[in-house]
Chain A
Amino acid sequence: MKKRNKTTAVLLVLVVAICGTVLAKSVYVSIKTARLRSGTSAFDKDVAKVKLGDKLSVKGTSERWIKVKTSDNKEGWIYDRQVSEKKPKDMDAFASKKGKVKFGGGGSHDASAAARGLSSGKYAKKNGYNISAVAAMENAKIDDDLLNQFLREGGLGEYEGGSK
């Protein structure tokens, strides 16, 4: 009888361990910024903002929404297309300061920011091309709030299915 109790205890520990492991599944934020919501709709209250590459612990799912927990213990729901199982491509290019990248793999910085624009500027000047048009393209940024509004009005992204 004692032996059976011991076996039961060991198996219970095993149950807890396995359940703990599977629940510790993680995902990465795969969009520049995303909002965690208090419920499973883009119209629910914001509870936290997360950014590209942040690792989130998965707590559960409901249709297109995933309940997650951030590293600083904030919990909320995120639209499932804003996360991926793998770390987003070229994240390393923004996080690391040296090394190189293979095609199709991650990326990294290999030179100082000062070198940027030098060769392309020289090339444009040599050939009489208009580099200022490219600079204007680069400077015309869309901020997150404007993009969010555009998505909301179109019923796109996390607003899929219509607006409230």
Chain B
Amino acid sequence: MKKHLYITSILTAVFVVALSLTPQPAKSIDFGKLGDALKKGTKIVKAMSISYPAEREIGRAAAAQISSKFGIVNDPGLNQYVRLVGNAVAAYSDRPATEFCFAVLDSDDINAYAAPGGYIFITKGALKACKSEAELAGVLAHEIAHVTERHYVKSVQKFLIAQALVEITMEKLTKDFKLFNNLVEQITMNIITKGLSRKDEYESDQKGTEFATRVGYNPYGVRDFLQTLRKYSGVKGDKRSMFATHPALDKRVERVEKLIKKEKWDNPVRPTLTERYVSGTKFLKTK
């Protein structure tokens, strides 16, 4: 009996010591829990595959169409500021190896777009509507999340299944221009007019909030921009803006706020960098 007690005591000590010596996981790593839960949604498309270079090539063509449709604002300072905010968010996203690139579209619509592979656009109108760098970071983070979660690539799954295509590689795309053309057309239509599923938009709101918070921005950037959209959603006949293709804004605001509270991302209070935003976007005041 004594012997058992002795061994039990030592074993208990072993585990207590081991537990105390275990480095506690960093708080930021907890951000991954959300991602893991959200990734479960990708199971439905596990039978298909697409290579990252092929994704980038499709996105590059879609980006050519988007930039040609709207035009790019020709102000190096403004584009550089958006690039800096975008790169900061992308660096702390779930696809840090991806070469994200950013540009400001010459449009007064309040909108932003993401093309597969890391091409991110924000309109001049959206920049005018934003009030702080945290809000801008939120919009860009939302778009970056569409890329990290490969939403537009997944949006063509029905087309690929119908074509009995389960694997898209650069080699295949290079040999079959008709296939490439069809994929780009479908994806660009989803980006500009059709939009994504409600589930994908919710996911990007959540992941976007997570990415911006990781960088250290005030976590309410995505929420604030959704509220900005809600403010403008009363404008009759506006079918070109973000709210024309995005699900109910009230519900999205509610979900983002719930997430921030649950994850305690609002403590400590993080910066909105409003002054730097005013300075970084001063070009817009002259337009």
A146 interface hit (Cβ, 8 Å): yes
Query: Do residues A102 and B119 form an inter-chain contact, with CB atoms below 8 A?
Result: no
Does B10 touch A at the CB level, under 8 Å? Answer: yes
A22 to B20, CA, bound (A): 10
| B30-73 at interface with A (beta carbon < 8 Å) | 32, 39, 42, 45-46, 48-54, 56-58, 60-61, 63-65, 67-68, 72
Is there contact, CB below 8 Å, between A104 and B42? Answer: yes
Distance between Cα atoms of A138 and B171 in the complex (Å): 22
- Check A134 against B119 for contact (C-beta < 8 Å): yes
- With A101-B52, A103-B153, A111-B170 as contacts: A130 and B68 at CB distance below 8 Å: yes
CA distance A154 to B174 in the complex (A): 44
Q: A15-B17, A160-B216 are in contact. Are A137 and B184 (CB under 8 A)?
A: no
Main secondary structure of the interface of B (DSSP, over half): helix
Q: Is A133 within 8 A of B57, CB to CB?
A: no
A58 to B7, CA, bound (A): 30
- How far, in Å, is A34 (CB) from chain B's closest CB? 10
Write the A50-87 contact mask toward B (1 if CB under 8 angstroms, else 0): 00110000111100101000000000000011011110
Residues of A near B99 (CB, < 8 A) are 138, 141
Q: Which B residues touch A11, using CB under 8 A? A: 7, 10-11, 14
Contacting residues, chain B, for A123 (C-beta < 8 A)? 61, 64, 177, 180-181, 184
Interface bits B1-40 vs A (CB < 8 Å: 1, else 0): 0010011001101110110011111111100100000010
The reply to whether A8 and B29 form a contact with Cβ atoms under 8 Å apart is no
